[in-house]
Amino acid sequence: MKNIAPDFLLIGSGVAGLRAAISASRYGRVLILNKGGLNESSSQKAQGGVAAVLNAEEGEIDSHYQDTIDAGRGLCHDEAVRVLVEEGPNRILELIEWGATFDKIGSQFATVLEGAHRKGRILRAQGDATGAEIVKTLVEKARKIPNLIFSPNHFAIDLIVEDGICQGAWVLDQAKNTMDPILARGVVLATGGAGQVFSRTTNPTVVTGDGIAMAIRAGAMVSDMEFVQFHPTSLFLSNAPAFLLSEAMRGEGGLLRNSDGKLFMAAYHPDSELAPRDIVTRAIWHQMRQGQSVFLDLTHMESAYVRERFPTIDKTCREYGVDIACDKIPVAPAAHYMMGGIKTDLFGRTSLNRLWAAGEVATTGVHGANRLASNALLEGLVFGARVGDDLKNVAPLPQTPPIPLFNQRGGICPSPLETYYAMQKCVKDTMWHDVGIIRSAKSLERAMKQIKECEWVMNEPLPAAPTNKGEEKISSRLALETRNLVIVAAAIITAARARKESIGAHFLEDS
């Protein structure tokens, strides 16, 4: 891989990285990395759909704009939201032109309502497999582009920054366990969010906040880190992961009941089950604190329709002995989406020269304090394309830059695997209990103290040994991810401590 010499290095192959790579490939040779294969990303798992106004009815775009602003509780960047809702429809039409199929009823696109949307404007594919359809379409398109090269299973460790200019990244080849510097005239971080910082999350295991941590280490500006979205409904069973149960299930009529069989949402918000996501999450949390279990109930709906409408969810729930059409499904909230991240302008430019960011890793300002459901895939498409186009104007690197010797910083990964596993558990549990759905000044102080005790991992020599031994391969990635989780956790706590009032997803019980 070190012989590829790309013009542009794209780190991450979710919807944002893929879309950026497709546009960037018009201006030079693109290398696109991921650390876990093409099917391991939040994009691939996205269920509910993608919000976009495809009918030309007057006022529809404005209504999408207003719902996004309202959900963001006054903290959205107006111009960024305008870009999102106005460019979104073209990004979707382009996907359709490239082969994506969205579900239809008759000749019209099927749409569903989700929380805090005034209108049903959410498109979906194969019922609940919208992300997989979009990723498949983008990958097929990308594979036809000769100067776009995929490099799966390559883990970006750190950015290479010389004289304040980002010039590439150090990359771990996970198969060979070797590290190489990859230089490029433009670098894009599209590494997704940071759900794995929390012990309960809907996010896949690759989502460990690497891009945010790399940016922080390189001195790029991050913002809004206190705003973590907790999804109200993930599967809650002792033997199951926090598998997402799409908001679309409530959009189609699913109800939330407690162990007494009581519908409780109307007591918390006039929109009941379709209240904004943070409100539903806190309502469920409140019920659970009172000793109730909470269930998502679709048993009043036609069972054939439920199974056909949510085939992926149906299949996964069955694996854990739950029939979504006949059983009341036990649910609890889980960390789902990072509103904060690397601060960018409307073209994805970061505060670091020649570094761009797109997708969940970035903060464009479209989500404010609380993301409107199904706006994330749209953001990845719209701002991914903008970043790719912006690379058009990047001049070649001024000279062959000096490559710092990464290995000088350390030797073989020194600690046993158990140390990293234990540290990750400590970080995740601390974040879930003390920096989760309900926070307080005291809990945040306690969390910071705990995370500080983990910070030695940042000064530890980094794993750099070119070896083929299985255990060391695991420990390289584990050590690197642990370091990133600690950095991102500290950034979330710092931002949460600085914001003294409750707003959107940041809720302080003592404010």
Q: Please give the residues from 112 up to 131 whose contact with ligand FAD meets the rule CB under 6 A.
A: 130-131
Q: What order do you get walking across the sheet with 355-357 strand by strand? A: 148-151, 30-33, 8-11, 186-189, 355-357
Contacts with ligand FAD: how many residues (CB under 6 A)?
Answer: 43
Q: Please give the residues from 195 up to 214 whose contact with ligand FAD meets the rule CB under 6 A.
A: 202-203, 206-207, 210
Which of 27, 65, 109, 337 is close enough to bind ligand FAD by CB under 6 A?
Answer: 337
Give the orientation angle of helix 15-24 with respect to helix 130-143, to 10 degrees.
20
DSSP 302-360: -HHHHHHH-HHHHHHHHHTT--TTTSPEEEEEEEEEE--EEE--TT-B-SSBTEEE-GG
CB of 277 to ligand SIN, least distance (A): 8
Could you tell me which stretch among 32-40, 67-75, 446-454, 492-500 binds ligand FAD (CB under 6 A)?
32-40
Site of tokens 């420990």? 475
CB under 8 Å to 84, separation ≥6 — which residues?
A: 68, 364, 366, 375, 378, 379, 382, 383
Residue (480 or 508) nearer to ligand FAD, CB: 480
Secondary structure (H, E, C), 52-114: CCCCCCCCHHHHHHHHHHHHCCCCCCHHHHHHHHHHHHHHHHHHHHCCCCCCEECCEECCECC
Which positions touch ligand SIN (CB under 6 A)? Answer: 47-48, 246-248, 337, 373-374, 376
Residue (373 or 480) nearer to ligand SIN, CB: 373
Residue (131 or 340) nearer to ligand FAD, CB: 131
CB of 384 to ligand FAD, least distance (A): 7
Task: Please identify which of the residues 19, 277, 354, 439 carries the catalytic annotation.
Answer: 277
Residue 277 annotated among the catalytic residues of the structure: yes
**230: Cα separation from own chain's centroid:** 12
Residue (49 or 330) nearer to ligand FAD, CB: 49
Residue (72 or 380) nearer to ligand FAD, CB: 380
Query: Residue 277 burial by CB count (10 A; 0-12/13-18/19+): exposed, middle or buried?
Result: buried
Token pair recorded at residue 351: 């505060």
Query: Alpha-carbon distance 334 to 432, whole Å?
Result: 9
User: Is 332 a binder of ligand FAD (CB under 6 A)?
Assistant: no
Residue (344 or 374) nearer to ligand SIN, CB: 374
Which of 8, 9, 14, 387 is close enough to bind ligand FAD by CB under 6 A?
Answer: 14
CB of 339 to ligand SIN, least distance (A): 12
CB of 224 to ligand FAD, least distance (A): 14
Query: Residue 106 burial by CB count (10 A; 0-12/13-18/19+): exposed, middle or buried?
Result: exposed
CB of 465 to ligand SIN, least distance (A): 39
Which residues does the annotation mark as catalytic? 277
- Give the footprint of ligand FAD on this chain (CB under 6 A): 11-17, 33-36, 40-43, 45-50, 130-131, 155-156, 190-192, 202-203, 206-207, 210, 244, 337, 359-361, 374-377, 380
